[in-house]
Amino acid sequence: MAEPRKKKTIHDYYKVQKELGKGTFAIVNLATRVADDQDVAIKVIDKRKCKDTAALRNEVSCLKACQHRNIIRLHELFESKSKVYLVMELVKGGELFDRIVKLGKYSEADARGLFYNLADAIGYLHERSIVHRDLKPENLLVAEESNVDVKLADFGLSIVVDDGETLFTCAGTPGYVAPEVLAHHGYGKEVDIWALGVILYILLVGFPPFYDQDMSALFKKIMRGDYSMPSPHWDCISDDAKDLIKKILVVNPKDRLDIAGIMNHPWLSEELPSLHLES
């Protein structure tokens, strides 16, 4: 008598090699597709640990809808009783955070190339009314062979907003969180722009604009927009780069540059041979 056919699971299609990283409620593994030996990253989400299944659905629908070379591609999705598996494009170079630590800081040319790619990806999301809300170097992955090829990961906190609608939940990470989030004024796409400013600052000098061991002191600094560009770290940075940061790290979201304003800023719009653009 023939044996009953066993239902196939993800493990019939992918072989897990090793762990790549851990996040708040997920583990990301390196795996190989059995059919063609292609390496992928699989994010394994424990449904029992993840009470917020709405956030999970958000991540899936955001990733599915996105096709941009600086946003991680979602290949396919598996679900078991206790877990959700997101099979994603593999990025081999690790987190931007570790790249910055390794290099100390970015050269201005590399910072410009990376920032351009990142702003382009955020512009793509904002055009589709998606706010990422958790932009930070831990959620940005870089290619192995290049400092500027960056990919946006971790849409766990992103949400699709209607134009003009403001979001009220307190999301984000201290240090990158925008003042309007802390002031509970509601917030929109501008929170991603603020985080871009924080990331650009860190890229150029290797330390953050807002820092304090005491969380409430840190929040106060952010809400006041209280940061500086101390010597000697900032002495060799161009005036254009400083000007761009000053126009992004503006406390009132209404007065902050938007993506179009960033892309048209002289620091990014000058003719630049080092700018990394897809041909």
Q: Looking at beta carbons, which residue is closest to ligand ADP?
A: 23
| 115/200 Cα distance (integer angstroms) | 7
Residue 224, sorted as left (phi over 0), alpha (psi -120 to 50) or beta, turns out to be alpha
**175 in contact with ligand ADP (CB under 6 A):** no
Q: x/- contact string, 154-183, with Mg ion (CB under 5 A)?
A: x-----------------------------
Nearest to 152 by CA among 95, 78, 190, 92: 95
The residue to which tokens 């070379």 are assigned: 69
Active-site amino acid positions:
134
Residue in 247, 245, 233, 234 with CA at minimum distance from that of residue 198 = 245
Say which entry of ligand ADP, Mg ion, none residue 88 contacts (CB below 5 to 8 A, set by partner kind).
ligand ADP
> Which C-beta is closer to ligand ADP: that of 28 or that of 125?
28
Q: How many CB atoms lie within 10 A of CB 49?
A: 11
CA dihedral of residues 94, 96, 101, 103 (deg, nearest 10) = 90
Is residue 9 involved in binding ligand ADP (CB under 6 A)? no
- Binding site annotation covers 43? yes
Q: How near is the Cβ of 224 to Mg ion at its closest, in Å?
A: 28
The reply to whether 76 sits near ligand ADP by the rule CB under 6 A is: no
Residues within window 120-149 making contact with Mg ion, judged by CB under 5 A: 139
| Site for ligand ADP contains 195 (CB under 6 A) | no
In the list ligand ADP, Mg ion, none, the entry touching 91 (Cβ below 5 to 8 angstroms by class) is ligand ADP
Per-residue interface string for the shown chain with Mg ion, residues 8-37, x marking contact by CB under 5 A: ---------------x--------------
Q: Which of 10, 141, 193, 205 binds ligand ADP (CB under 6 A)?
A: 141
The alpha carbons of the chain give a radius of gyration, in whole angstroms, of 20
Edge-first strand listing for the sheet containing 74-79: 14-22, 26-33, 39-46, 83-88, 74-79
Q: Does 156 bind ligand ADP (CB under 6 A)?
A: yes
CB nearer to Mg ion: give 95 or 180. Answer: 95
Paired tokens of 60: 């899936």
Nearer to ligand ADP (CB atom), residue 142 or residue 222 = 142
136: Cβ–Cβ under 8 A, 6 or more apart, which residues?
Answer: 97, 173, 175, 176, 195, 198, 199
Residues 266, 272, 274, 279, CA torsion sign: positive
**From Mg ion, ligand ADP, none, interface partner of 95 (C-beta below 5 to 8 A by class):** ligand ADP
Instruction: For residue 153, state whether it binds ligand ADP (rule: CB under 6 A).
Output: yes
Q: Which residues are annotated as a binding site for ATP?
A: 43
Q: Which residues make up the interface to ligand ADP (CB under 6 A)?
A: 20-21, 23-26, 28, 41, 43, 72, 88-91, 95, 138-139, 141, 153-154, 156
